[in-house]
Amino acid sequence: MTAQSVRAASAMLDGGAFDVERYRADFPILTTQVRGKELVYLDNAASAQKPRQVIDAIAEFDRASYANIHRGVHHLSQVATKAYEGARDKVRAFMNAEQDREIIFVRGTTEAINLVASSYGRANLQAGDEILITHLEHHSNIVPWQILCQQTGAVLKVAPISDEGEIVMDEFKKLVGKKTKIVAVNHVSNALGTINPVDEIIALAHEVGAVALIDGAQSAPHLAIDVRALDADFYAFSSHKIFGPTGVGVLYGKAALLEAMPPYQGGGDMISYVTFEETRYNRIPYKFEAGTPNITGVVGMGAAIDYIQSVGLDAIGAYEHELLEYATERVGAVEGVRLVGTAAKKAGVLSFVIDGVHPHDVGTILDQAGIAIRAGHHCAQPVMDRFGIPATARASFAFYNTKAEIDALVDGIHQIRKVFG
C-alpha cells in the first residue's frame, strides 16, 4: 500500500464506504440555496468548488505572509518565496516529477499548451512536419497548434474517435510517422469523460522521436498522475479544476527539453542579467515565469493539492467510479435519453441528450431545481460535430457529489420530459 492509499483507507468508514458527508462539510458552498433549493453542483468539469482548507489558506497567506517573491531581502518576501516554492514541490510530488525545476507555473492548461506551441513548436517545427491530435480535444488543445501550423507550415493531423467516444488506436498508429514532431492528447475528455490510453500514445510518439504533450485538465481531479511512469514530455493542468483558485496552473516539462527551449515571454524574473546589448536568461523554471506571477494563487493551489492528497486519489477514484456507474445506469434508463460517450473507461463526466429537447432547455429547467449542469459544446465543437449534435447536457462529478444528487438529476430529467411532452 502506498502512503496515499493508507491515508485513503483511514478515511473510509468501517463498512469500507467513502465518507462523503465528512468531505461535503469541508465545502461551504455546498450548503448554498439556489432558487429555494439546496444546490446540486454537477458542473465540476467546468470548475470545481473550494474546500474551507483552500479558502482559508489563501486568506491566511494574504493576511500574514504576502509580498513579492524572489526579489526582496526583507522578511516577508522570504516567507512568500518559501510558500511559493513550497507549492512547486507539492506539485512535483503530486505529479511524481523528478525535480522542482520541471514545474512551471502558468495561468492554466490553456497557457501551458500555448507555451509549448510557441516556444518548443516554433523552435523545432518546419514546413511539412506534423502535429498529431485527436478528434476528442478541447479547443485549447486544437487552436494553439493551428496557430503554430500557420506560423511554420506544419500540418495538423487528427486521429478519429469511435461511436463510443474512444480514440481509434489503429487509425492513430497509422498517423504516427517520421514527420510527426508533436503528439498532443488529453488524458481525460472534458466533453465525454473518456480516459485515453496516454501511456500507449506517449510510447508511440517516442518511437518516431516526437514529443508528447498530455492535457491533464480533466485527469488531475480524478486520477493519480505519474509523469515519470507515463514518460510524458509535457503535462498540463489547471488549479481551478482541482479545487484550487482560478488563474493558475501547471506545465510540467522534462528538464532537458525545457532547458533547450527559448523563452516564452520576456520580462522580470526570467533573466539573469540585462544590458541593452545582451540579456542572459534565468535557469528553468524561472526562464518561463516572466513577471510577477499569481503568488497567492500558487499558494492556494498548493493547499488544494494538500487537500486532495488528504482525501487520497485512490479513494476518490473508487468512489467516483461507483457514482458514475450509478448515474450512467439511472440517467441512461430514462426513456428518450441518449448518453453521448460510452467508452469502457471513463471519469467524472456524463454527457447526454434528450429527444426533442435542446440541451439549453435542459439546463434552464434543471437550474430551476437548483441543479447546475453545463449545456453546450463544452469547448469541443469537433466532438459535437462527430456525433452530429449541436450540444449536450453534461453532468460532471467530484468526490463530494452523492447518489441522492444523481436522483435529483433524474427527477429533473423526468420533469423536462413532462414539460416537453
Ligand X SMILES: Cc1ncc(COP(=O)(O)O)c(C=O)c1O
Q: What backbone torsions phi and psi does residue 388 show, to the nearest 5 degrees?
A: 65, 35
Interacting residues with other proteins (CB under 8 A): 35, 356-361, 364-365, 368, 375-377, 381, 384, 390-391, 415, 418-421
Question: Which CB, 217 or 337, lies closer to ligand X?
Answer: 217
Question: Which CB, 263 or 376, lies closer to other proteins?
Answer: 376
Per partner kind, with CB cut-offs from 5 to 8 A, the member of ligand X, other proteins, none near residue 109 is ligand X
Per partner kind, with CB cut-offs from 5 to 8 A, the member of ligand X, other proteins, none near residue 56 is none
Residue 251 grid cell: 506545465
Tell me which of 379, 410, 415, 420 is the catalytic residue. Answer: 379
In the bound complex, what is the minimum distance in angstroms from residue 346's beta carbon to ligand X? 14
In the bound complex, what is the minimum distance in angstroms from residue 420's beta carbon to other proteins? 7
Other C-beta atoms closer than 10 Å to the C-beta of 396 total 27
Give which of 290, 258, 255, 292 is closest to 272, Cα–Cα.
Answer: 290
Per partner kind, with CB cut-offs from 5 to 8 A, the member of other proteins, ligand X, none near residue 365 is other proteins
In the bound complex, what is the minimum distance in angstroms from residue 213's beta carbon to other proteins? 27
Where in 260-403 does DSSP place strands (E)?
Answer: 271-274, 279-281, 337-340, 349-354, 371-372, 374-376, 392-396
In the bound complex, what is the minimum distance in angstroms from residue 377's beta carbon to other proteins? 5
* Cα of 364 vs its chain's centroid, Å: 26
Question: Which CB, 43 or 405, lies closer to ligand X?
Answer: 43
Give which of 155, 168, 143, 150 is closest to 386, Cα–Cα.
Answer: 168
379 is catalytic: yes
In the bound complex, what is the minimum distance in angstroms from residue 27's beta carbon to ligand X? 20
Question: Which CB, 280 or 418, lies closer to other proteins?
Answer: 418
Residues 263 and 119 sit within 8 Å (Cβ to Cβ)? yes
Question: Which CB, 108 or 341, lies closer to ligand X?
Answer: 108
Residues 337 and 413 sit within 8 Å (Cβ to Cβ)? yes
At 55, which helix (H) or strand (E)? helix 52-64
Interacting residues with ligand X (CB under 6 A): 108-110, 138, 140-141, 186, 190, 215, 217-218, 238, 249, 379
Distances (CA, A) of 135 to 33, 116, 189, 383: 38, 20, 10, 6
Which are the catalytic amino acids?
379
